[in-house]
């Protein structure tokens, strides 16, 4: 141990002894410059989530020590603590050494005003208090609390109150799939739907060897929940191309799932991209060529379940119905599709074609977001035209007037600073034969160039039924961080700041997919790094008093 580290440890040990003293000081000190910082992270189940808040304050050197004997945390009225096991406060020293901090106190009596008692004598200088939250092993996923202020009470000084700089609702996350689980290196590309029975169906890539996109050994995994996402049944592989034509598993990957639910026939459909035979060191995005055969080009594959996700059909190849042989590649979403009011099934899709336009990498191709649809409950399928060049991963919703809105990742829309100007948005009234640029396109929804999610739901707003759009993505122009859900009450024209909730500030792979768990709760499945997280968010967290709780 270095001399400096020894000195720091000695100072901390000295402080820890002071924190155990119980004698009052006669001369009051001046406590000032208080600041309360909080992380913007979801809480992990079954562990103590350390350092979710930090309170920094200064004791005036012109005065003597103060003795801190109680901390009171005030939470918002609508906070719910059913999943919280404990709240602890730790003193990390005037020199802030978190890993060797001293416990001030712990309480399991959590509520709107949570009190933590202890004794800590604090001399002149800057001091740091850290707050930890212990969560139950299986916490109620609707647990949520928002810190309004923290009050420090002293034996020999006036009470100090400090509020956090910004608001954040702490809530638990469920790690639906963990890196390495079931011999799978990486879980990616989430899709999520809710059936008429209230069952949640989650789909995703099982990337067995690494995080790499196709061409690789990838299957489509599925998880099923019958209790609103609180617990999930064991993962089931629902799409696996095996060793087609004598080729190895590694050359028969299928991935990038997109799921939709037909509420008229009670059928769950999953679309995925399969390609057989490409060299393992090639990326399918580049290796796929014009043509129709699996050896030449990616294949548009479906599977379906008619028993609420318990069993699934053999793969259904619809490539010949919808792909132009001149295109290099055609694939789905990914994410989720929809069933329109009239029963039309719609998958968002994308195709890559040689259009004589120089692409971002210098190649002579362009890609277009579009839709693939069926008007006969999935017996036959058709495809629309491209909505905008150099758009790829898209999601689709039906607007209140019956038109379809396509919300698209825009690979062309990047500035000289490496930022993007937002999601591209287009609307069609004829199932993708023609498209009109939406007024919000490339302006209303910022993105770091990533997949996103958008869903539509009818809610009672101020006593009247109205369509509301919910959108989720990493809310950044430069990196896949700050996973956020936003709401629009005007058909996607605007997404006010007051109707937004940040879930997780950490950077991850960034893909997400939402579905309504029930008429009051949004479920979201999104990517961390090699993992998939599930969270539940009350609609009222976004829309406040506009909706009934």
Give dist(CA 268, CA 236) in Å, integer.
15
- In the three-class reduction of DSSP (H, G, I as helix; E, B as strand; rest coil), residue 405 is classed as strand
End-to-end CA distance of the chain: 56
CB 132 within 8 A of CB 48: yes
User: Helix or strand or coil: residue 329?
Assistant: strand
Decide if 123 contacts 19 (C-beta within 8 A): no
Q: Report the candidate in 425, 398, 545 with the shortest Cα–Cα distance to residue 494.
A: 425
Query: 431-470: b or e for each residue (b if 16 or more CB lie within 10 Å)?
Result: bbeebeebebbbebbbbbbbbbbbbbbebeeeeeeebbbb
Q: How many CB atoms lie within 10 A of CB 418?
A: 11
User: Which residue in the block uniquely carries the two structure tokens 């796929």?
Assistant: 288
Q: Which of 121, 393, 447, 527 is catalytic?
A: 393
Spatial separation of the C-alpha atoms in residues 224 and 301, rounded to whole Å:
21
Query: Contact at 8 Å (CB) between 120 and 67?
Result: yes
Angle at 133 between CA 129 and CA 139, to 5 degrees: 170
CB atoms within 10 A of CB 521: 17
Catalytic status, residue 393: yes
Please identify every residue annotated as catalytic: 393
């Amino acid at each position: 141990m270095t001399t400096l580290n020894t000195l720091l440890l000695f100072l901390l040990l000295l402080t820890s002894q002071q924190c155990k003293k119980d004698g009052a000081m006669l001369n009051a000190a001046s406590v000032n410059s208080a600041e309360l910082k909080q992380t913007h992270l979801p809480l992990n189940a079954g562990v103590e989530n350390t350092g979710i808040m930090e309170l920094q304050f200064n004791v005036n050197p012109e005065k003597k020590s103060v003795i801190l004997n109680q901390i009171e945390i005030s939470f918002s009225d609508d906070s719910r603590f059913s999943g919280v096991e404990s709240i602890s406060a730790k003193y990390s020293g005037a020199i802030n050494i978190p890993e060797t901090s001293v416990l001030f106190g712990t309480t399991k009596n959590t509520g709107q005003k949570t009190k933590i008692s202890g004794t800590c004598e604090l001399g002149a200088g800057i001091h740091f208090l850290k707050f930890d939250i212990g969560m139950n092993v299986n916490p109620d996923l609707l647990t949520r609390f928002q810190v309004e202020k923290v009050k420090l009470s002293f034996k020999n000084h006036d009470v100090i109150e400090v509020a956090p700089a910004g608001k954040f609702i702490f809530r638990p996350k469920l790690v639906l799939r963990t890196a390495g689980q079931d011999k799978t290196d990486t879980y990616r590309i989430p899709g999520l739907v809710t059936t008429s029975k209230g069952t949640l169906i989650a789909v995703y890539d099982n990337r067995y060897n690494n995080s790499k996109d196709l061409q690789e050994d990838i299957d489509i995994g599925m998880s099923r929940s019958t209790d609103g996402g609180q617990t999930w049944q064991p993962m089931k592989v629902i799409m696996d191309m095996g060793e087609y034509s004598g080729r190895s598993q590694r050359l028969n990957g299928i991935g990038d799932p997109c799921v939709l639910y037909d509420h008229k026939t009670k059928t769950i459909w999953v679309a995925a991209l399969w390609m057989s035979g490409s060299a393992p060191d090639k990326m399918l995005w580049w290796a796929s060529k014009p043509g129709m055969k699996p050896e030449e080009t990616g294949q548009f594959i479906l599977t379906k379940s008619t028993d609420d996700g318990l069993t699934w059909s053999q793969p259904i190849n619809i490539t010949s119905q919808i792909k132009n042989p001149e295109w290099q590649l055609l694939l789905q979403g990914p994410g989720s599709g929809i069933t329109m009011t009239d029963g039309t099934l719609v998958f968002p899709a994308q195709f890559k074609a040689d259009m004589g336009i120089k692409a971002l990498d210098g190649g002579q191709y362009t890609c277009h977001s579009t839709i693939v649809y069926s008007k006969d409950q999935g017996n036959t399928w058709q495809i629309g035209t491209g909505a905008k060049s150099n758009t790829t991963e898209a999601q689709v919703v039906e607007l209140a007037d019956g038109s379809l809105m396509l919300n698209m990742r825009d690979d062309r829309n990047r500035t000289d600073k490496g930022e993007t100007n937002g999601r591209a948005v287009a609307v069609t009234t004829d199932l993708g034969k023609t498209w009109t640029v939406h007024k919000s396109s490339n302006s209303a929804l910022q993105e770091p160039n990533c997949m996103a999610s958008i869903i539509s739901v009818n809610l009672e707003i101020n006593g009247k039924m109205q369509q509301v759009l919910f959108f989720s993505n990493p809310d950044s122009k430069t990196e896949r961080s700050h996973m956020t859900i936003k709401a629009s009450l005007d058909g996607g024209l605007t997404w006010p700041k007051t109707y937004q909730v940040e879930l997780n500030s950490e950077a991850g792979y960034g893909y997400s997919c939402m579905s309504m768990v029930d008429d009051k709760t949004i479920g979201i499945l999104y990517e961390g790094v090699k993992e998939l997280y599930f969270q539940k968010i009350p609609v009222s967290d976004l829309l406040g008093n506009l909706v009934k709780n």
